With several copies, the nearest count.
Chain A
Amino acid sequence: MRQSYQCKNGQLIVEMPKEIDHHCAKELREDIDRMIEISHVRVLVFDFSQTEFMDSSGIGVLIGRCRNFGYSGGSVQAVHLNDRVKKIFMVSGLSKLIPIGTEQERAGGRVDGE
């Protein structure tokens, strides 16, 4: 299952998989890192519109990307979370590390929050 990426206005939008677990974590991690490397973006956006399931393996992937990307001065966001993914963000405390895009930003197609 290959991910879809979209790169515009200095933003890299990563479409996250339907199910984010240990099974897909390694490939997902490597794919995102490769895209970050080649696209020279300053804003990284995780798009969860396709995501129905995520467990703590997904948390690991997100924290890892945040850390790497943060070092290079970039900012990170998450958008289009369904209620379940939002719950996972809350319970894990990930919501403190990665701002969740608001309805308005989603509606306007703006996700970098600036």
Chain B
Amino acid sequence: MENRMRLEFDAVSVNESFARVAVSAFFAQLNPTVDEIEDVKTAVSEAVTNSIIHGYGEKEGTVVVTCTYHDKDSEVVVIDEGVGIADIEKSMEPFFTTKPELERSGMGFAFMEAFMDEVSVESEPLKGTKVTMKKRFGERKLEE
């Protein structure tokens, strides 16, 4: 089974929870475990929050989230057209943050990596950032 959806919304913090719910409602079609769906929610929350805080610096902008699945293989892509990241490798180090004044923990990318199977980041300064995350949901018995 295959399916896809694309979600576009204003880069405002109230939409962080909306994005989580929409993405988890979509992947609910795969009959995931609670833990699997919470993993995806957390990862989506990290990427969307980053676009809002870092990408757009809490100014106006649009965040795009696309979700697709093919059988049990899911993919989530989060895109912004914000400031971009100059040094992707450094930004992905745990505890690295450019906004300590906002009490950011620098754990965002670490969480995405911990909760998804694969995370890749493409970014260009002043162009924006694209985070691609993959997760394979476990095979489960069909509910009766």
Contacts and interface: CB of A to CB of B under 8 A. Distances in A.
Chains A and B in contact, CB within 8 Å = yes
Interface of A: 1-2, 19, 21-23, 25, 29, 53, 55-57, 59-61, 63-64, 83-84, 87-88, 91-92
Interface string B92-123: 00000000001111011011001100000000
B14 interface: yes
Interface string B30-65: 000001001001100110010011000000000000
Contacts of B144: 2
Contact of B17 (A23, A29, A87): A23
Task: Determine the interface band of chain B, counting residues with CB < 8 A from chain A.
Answer: 20 to 34
Interface of B: 13-14, 16-17, 20, 35, 38, 41-42, 45-46, 49, 52-53, 102-105, 107-108, 110-111, 114-115, 143-144
A108 B49 CA distance: 38
A84 to B, nearest CB: 5
Nearest to B104: A60
Given A59-B105, A60-B102, A91-B110, 14 more contacts: A2-B144, A19-B17, A22-B49, A23-B16, A53-B42, A53-B45, A56-B46, A56-B107, A60-B103, A60-B104, A60-B107, A64-B103, A84-B35, A92-B107
B42 A22 contact: no
Contacts of B17: 19, 21, 23
Contact of A57 (B49, B114, B143): B49
Given A21-B49, A23-B17, A91 B103 contact: no
Contacts of B41: 53
A92 B35 CA distance: 17
Given A22-B53, A55-B42, A63 B13 contact: no
Which of B14, B17, B52, B105 has its CB near the most chain A CB atoms (within 10 A)? B105
A57 B45 CA distance: 9
A53 B107 contact: no
A37 to B, nearest CB: 17
Contacts of A91: 110-111, 114-115
Given A22-B49, A88-B42, A92-B105, A55 B111 contact: yes
Contact of A55 (B13, B46, B143): B46
B107 A59 contact: yes
A21 B16 contact: yes
Contacts of A21: 13, 16-17, 45, 49
